[in-house]
Each structure stands twice: as C-alpha cells, then as structure tokens.
Structure 1
Amino acid sequence: MKKSKIALVTGCAGFIGSHMCDYLLKKNFTVYGIDNLSSGKFKNIKHIKSKNFKFSKLDIKNSKFFFKRKKIDYIFHFAGNGELIPSIDNPIKYLKNNTINTAYLLDQVIKNKIRLKKFVYAASSTCYGINNSKTNEKAKISIEHPYALSKYLGELCVMHWAKIYNIPSVSIRIFNAYGTRSRTSNVYGAVIGVFLRQKISNYPLTIVGDGTQKRDFLYVTDVCDAFYKAAINKSNIEIFNLGFGKSKSVNYLASLINDKKINIPWRPGEPKKTEADINKISNILKWKPTIDLKEGINLVLKNINYWKKAPLWTRKSIKNATQNWQKYLK
C-alpha cells in the first residue's frame, strides 16, 4: 500500500492555512497542523474529523520538541501576522513573527535532519510597493511599511536556507486572497472582511479614496491549488506571483456586496493598482485560477454569518486605527 504523504501546515487555524488543510486531506495527505491561536481560530478547523489530521496548539518559536523523530515531506508556512495597518504600531512584533519565526522553522528542519521534498512559503506582493502596473517577479522591490518588510525578509531567509542548506523551497507572493474564514480579528485589516461585517450591521461600506483603486483578488481554493502544485513540482529556489491576473476596482467589489457606501480618506503607502503577472506560475506549475470575483463573493455571502462577531469598523474607528499609518506614511 502506498504511503501517505506527510505535510506540516503552520498557521493551520488561520484563513488560508485551514483551507490548505482541507485541500491536502482531500489529496490523502497526513497533515500536521500547528497554530498558537493568537489570530487563527479553532472553529476554522473544528469541522475536520479525519484521523489523518493532527493539530497541536503551538507557537513556532516553542516548537523545538515538535520536530523530534517526525517525518515530514512538505511544509506549507502560513503562520504570522497578516494585517498591514497594525504593523506600523508593532514593527518588532511583525519582524519576530514573520521573519525570525520563519528562520527558526527553517533551522528546525536542519537540526532535526528532516528530508523535505519542499518548503512552500506564503510571501506577500506588498514587497513591490507602489507599482501600479501588471507585475512580474522581476519587478523592483520597494518596501513601504513594516508588514512588507517582515514578509520580504522572511522570503530572503527561505531563499538563503534553500541555497546554503539545500532545502528545496519556493516562495509564493500572494496578491489579494479572499474567501470563507478570512480574518475577523480586532485589528483593522482586509477590505472584504470589513465590508461583510458592515453589511451585517447595515452600515455603509467604507470606501478608501474614490474606490477606483484596483486589486487582484484570488479565491482561497485557487490559492491552495497553487501552493499544492508548487509543492509537488520540481521547481526549486523559485519565486512566483499569485493572483487572478486581472484586477477589479474596490467600487466593483463593493457593488457585489452592498449598495450603501461612504468614502473615507485615501491612505498613503498603498498602490492605486495591484495586478499579478501570472505567466510564470501558469507556465511552470500548469496552474490557472478558476473562480472569478463575482462567483467568489457569492460563495462568501452564503457564509456571511461567520463575520457576525467580527468588529464593526466605522468611519470613526477606522480613523483612530489608521492614525499612525497616516502620520508616518506620507
């Protein structure tokens, strides 16, 4: 009988991590999931009943004993701080969780002599800064805020360990992932989660600027499919951009959710347009997106009650939460 492939998913109770667990279990993997539940939620994995899923409430920096005598074929690394705005208030926290913990995880692979087939790192397209055009992997790196810095330094760690210590690795720069189970934490974050909570409360959707800014939204199951294909592909020390490949305006996004809206001041340090050039990932991994924004938002709206207990962000609370962002990023 063919042995099950074994994967470790860090941040397994988070948004993308929990979907990655679902995806891998359907592919007959044995999945170890670790999460300290600081931003991830146990309810995101509560539905998993498979005996092939093994969850540990664990922080990466305290995971030394977790790796002892374990066989792991693949690591999918999603753990870390994911919201942009709060990084301006907590840069050291972001560097510890997104950069240092990534290095620590890689170090555990070496120290425990784990013979990985692939380490797949969830990087961020924010490393491109204010690019405002269709972006390929050779575009200039332009770091605009601590979140982007922490994720990019994490990527540099992955590429360095891959080169020096021969850990097969790829880094995937995610543009705007969305879908069910996206974050509902007490910090101001991703636009779709904010909009959904506002819709539940019949509060107008808060449009930053005039809403003509465009983002490249990619549904979470398409994200997981790309990560899986990156893991099983022979590519090594490669960076891939991951998005739908066609951006949509925030006004269009809002129109799919609610007609009521108000405009709030534009935030410096953010691009007017993000759009992934997905030629590389499509050609090498034979991957392509399957769910467009309209279909994806319909799937999310069917599960809108997930955001019922999320914080409601109002014009005033957003102003308070973004004060330092506006102060430092001019």
Structure 2
Amino acid sequence: MRALVTGGLGFIGSHVIEALLAEGIDVVAVDNLSTGSRKNEIDGATYRIEDLADTPDEILLDSDYVFHLAALPRIQPSFSEPVEHEEVNVVLTIRLLQRVMQSKRLKKLVFSSSSAVYGNPEQTPTPEDARIAPLSPYALQKYAAEQYCLLLGERFDLPVIALRYFNPYGPRSFNANNPYNAYSSVVGIFTNQKKSGSPLTITGDGLQERDFIDVRDVARANLAAARSPLTNRVYNVGTGSPISILELARRLDHPIEHVGPRLGEARITHADISRITAELDWRPAISIDEGVAELCAE
C-alpha cells in the first residue's frame, strides 16, 4: 500500500504520516515549504520538496490513498491576498482531483477541511448539515474546495471524504514563523509562552470557546476515513467538549495579558461528532488536559 500526503511537512501532515507508517504503509510526501518545515520530517517517509503541480502524474496514479492537506491556512492574510489563497486552496484542489481521476488504484482521497466553514454557528453542538456562513476568505475557500471534492467525486465516481477539523493542537503545532496559520493553535502558543516566561496573550475577552482536538486523534480520523467503504461524505473532527480560551489560560496557571480581538474568527466552535462516531467508529481518545500536560512537559 502506498499513500501520498500533500502538505506533508505541515503540523497535521507530519502526524498523518506517522500514523500511516505505523500501519506499514509506504508514504510519499509533497511540500513546497510555504508553510511546512523540514523539522517535521518523519523517518521512513519519502519527501519531495516541490509544488504539487510539479509532482509527476505517475506518483499520484501509483497511490492507493491521497491525503490532501496542502493549503495556505492563513486566516488574516486571506483577506488581503484572496486571489493567492484561492489559487492554492481551491484551484490546486480541483487540479488534483482532475489528475487522480485517471487512477485505477485509488481507494480514497481524504480532504482536510475546516470547521471555519460554519462561521458563528446557529446550532451548538454543530452538525455537518448546519448552515454554512464563512467569516473569512480562507473559510470560504475550504468550503468551496470540499464541495468540489464531493461534486466531482459523485460525477466521476471518485472515492472522497472531507474532514472538517475543529481546533487541532499538539506536538509540532506551534510555529513562530507563521503566527496567522489556522493550525497554529492557541494551545501551542500558550504553552510556548509559558515555557519562555512570557504572559499568556488572550485575544479579546477570552470567553470565546474552542473545541480543541489533539492532532493524533485527527490523524486517526484520517486513517478511519481512508479505510471506510463510505464515500462522498463530510465529517466533523472534534471532541464535542469546548472550553473557553480564558479557562484554558487559567488551567495553565500563568500570568495573563489581554490583547485586541481578531476579525474573521468564530465566537464558538463545538462539534457534533455523532456522525463520525456512528459511521467511521472514530471517537477522540486524548482530552485537552492530557494533551496540554504533555506539551508543557516537553
């Protein structure tokens, strides 16, 4: 078995690769280092440092699974550079779909989407069929890309599943060089600030709530989606147990400092995970307290 992981040097991609290698699956990872880092290389995987558009067709067509994580996950810059972000987050996904349509061995394409598509949800916990109301170009692009996966997958009999990640965090999540990354979880920022002796910076009043999901649980969700016989489905990947940013900071028992709020971010994220639990037999295994304690001990 062989898997292709786009964005394989990113925070989440590196953990997906670890999970695949642990299952004895050969992995080829593609990353152009626009947001990824060579520090995230995992022994045993083959890396190609290039734009996905430059990856030879034979590599795509020789893969049993494709995990598409390559993106520009930058919320604030997506406002000032919407065309650049559209090219990467939407057009690149369409082109990937067109190329893998020619594959005779593809078992599943798993697309990494985002809970940002819900905006400020009307329902909490939020199910997959809730109203879509993006608050940023990045969120809109994630929704457009996942819908292209579903539409083209249905039309051309392409087995695809889209996973809407809520708030991933965990080892390798903090990247000081990319502060606007949607995956630069406040958990990683807080634990880094605590280790460096800086106050924990809370945007706004801190009462915004987040459904934090450990990245290793996210990786397991990717494997569950790949193995499932179901196709053309969307699943939330969260815990169903949100916590306020202020409460998270208090649990770290460290000085707090408030800064101005950021535009384009939801007031609450709270996943309804009943569908993924029932259909993929997946459920989170790592609590926020366990994950944070591990990060603080590193």
Decide which of 47, 54, 58 is 1:62's aligned counterpart: 54
Q: How many residues align?
A: 293
What's the % identity of the aligned pairs?
Answer: 37
Q: Are residues 35 and 183 of structure 1, via their aligned partners in 2, closer, same or farther at CA, if it must alter by over 3 Å?
A: farther
Report if the CA contact (8 A) 2:4-2:29 is conserved. Answer: yes
User: Do structure 1's residue 186 and structure 2's residue 187 form an aligned pair?
Assistant: no
Query: Structure 2-normalised TM-score?
Result: 0.93
Decide which of 10, 13, 34 is 2:9's aligned counterpart: 13
Q: Are residues 116 and 257 of structure 1, via their aligned partners in 2, closer, same or farther at CA, if it must alter by over 3 Å?
A: same
CA RMSD, 1 decimal: 1.7
The unaligned stretches of length 5 or more in structure 1 are 304-330
**Structure 1 residues 220-279: Cα deviation after superposition (integer angstroms, max 9, x where no partner):** 110011110111011111010110111011112212334211112233433221100000
Greater displacement, 294-303 / 118-127: 294-303
Report if the CA contact (8 A) 1:14-1:183 is conserved. Answer: no
In structure 2, the partner of 1:174 is 165
Query: Structure 1-normalised TM-score?
Result: 0.84
Decide which of 245, 258, 263 is 2:240's aligned counterpart: 245
Report if the CA contact (8 A) 1:182-1:193 is conserved. Answer: yes
Paired AA for residue 61 in structure 1: A
Give 1:82 shift.
1.5
Decide which of 17, 23, 26 is 1:27's aligned counterpart: 23
Map 1:1-330 → 2, pairs under 5 A = 5-45=1-41, 47-48=42-43, 50=44, 53-63=45-55, 65-67=56-58, 70-110=61-101, 112-131=102-121, 133-184=124-175, 185-189=177-181, 190=184, 191-303=186-298
Paired AA for residue 210 in structure 1: D
Report if the CA contact (8 A) 1:199-1:258 is conserved. Answer: no
Paired AA for residue 116 in structure 1: L
Q: Are residues 152 and 253 of structure 1, via their aligned partners in 2, closer, same or farther at CA, if it must alter by over 3 Å?
A: same
Report if the CA contact (8 A) 1:216-1:275 is conserved. Answer: yes
| DSSP 3-state at the match of 1:105 | helix
Give 1:69 shift.
8.1
Q: Distance in 2 between matches of 1:293 and 1:188?
A: 22
Look at both structures and tell me which one has the larger radius of gyration over its CA atoms.
Answer: 1
Report if the CA contact (8 A) 2:32-2:49 is conserved. Answer: yes
